[in-house]
Amino acid sequence: MNAAMPVLWFFTTITLFALADLLHRRTGGKAWAHPTLMPTLVLILVFTYTDFDFTHYQIGTRIFDLLLGGAVAALAVPLFRSRKVLATEKQAVFAATAVGSLMGVGSALCIAFLLRSPADMVASVATKSITTPIAVVVAPSIGGVPGLAAAVVIVTGLVVAIFGPPFLKMLGIEDDVEKGVALGTAGHAIGMAEAVRRSELMGAAAAFSMASNGLVTALLLPIIWPQ
């Protein structure tokens, strides 16, 4: 293995994100220029139409997995700072998270059943609104495919991060806690990252909702899933 390739992919990923973020800012936050979407599409095209070894990319970008875990843990800081605000709306936050969790699983299952999808695909899409590390563990326990579950989760997060904020604005929702709960519950880590970009309070609400939704779904889905 060429030792330089993993390092090259590390810097390529950072460069793509930096350029996409610059484009996103220059275009006034247009959905099509989202800093997560653009690098993802570019990398998909690269690995689809070239002979580059994806293993090199996985090795070179493994550090991002570690940093992601640290970043999620660090969200305890804005969550702690915003605890009083969240506490004043705790009933609404818990209710919204619970309904969002049910809708996240239910909407995916309805579409999968209507399309008469195979059982393993149905089980995989059921995990679409919980964060990737949890989804790849839960999916096999209910008969799903970890790789497919991860792909569905990532696509779901991208859709929520890109279209969620303008959709909430169209509905007239302006409160940061409400928007954070929606983005965190429906869009897990990617939706939460978008919330953090917008405000600390929104990020705190999203972090709480993402964690709650992921925990509840991970515990209950294997129990209630028909074997």
| Residues 195 and 105 occupy one common structural domain | yes
Among 60, 84, 107, which residue terminates a domain?
60
- Structural domain contains residue 30: yes
Spatial CB neighbours of 100, under 8 Å, sequence gap ≥ 6: 129, 181, 182, 185, 186, 209, 213
Q: Residue 1: its pLDDT value, please?
A: 52
Domain of 40 in residue numbering reads as: 4-60
In total, how many domains does the chain have?
Answer: 2
Contacts of 55-63 spanning 24+ positions with Cβ under 8 A:
55/1, 56/1, 56/2, 56/5, 56/6, 56/9, 57/6, 57/9, 59/6, 60/5, 60/6, 60/7, 60/8, 60/9, 60/10, 60/13, 61/9, 61/10, 61/13, 63/10
| Residues 118 and 186 occupy one common structural domain | yes
Q: Residue 153: its pLDDT value, please?
A: 86
Q: Residue 78: its pLDDT value, please?
A: 67
Q: How far is residue 158's CA from residue 153's CA, in Å, rounded to a whole number?
A: 9
Q: Residue 10: its pLDDT value, please?
A: 92
Q: Residue 69: its pLDDT value, please?
A: 66
- Structural domain contains residue 65: no
> What's this model's pTM, rounded to 2 decimal places?
0.76
Q: Residue 216: its pLDDT value, please?
A: 79
Q: Residue 227: its pLDDT value, please?
A: 59
Q: Residue 205: its pLDDT value, please?
A: 85
| Residues 41 and 147 occupy one common structural domain | no
> What residue ranges of the chain have pLDDT lower than 50?
none
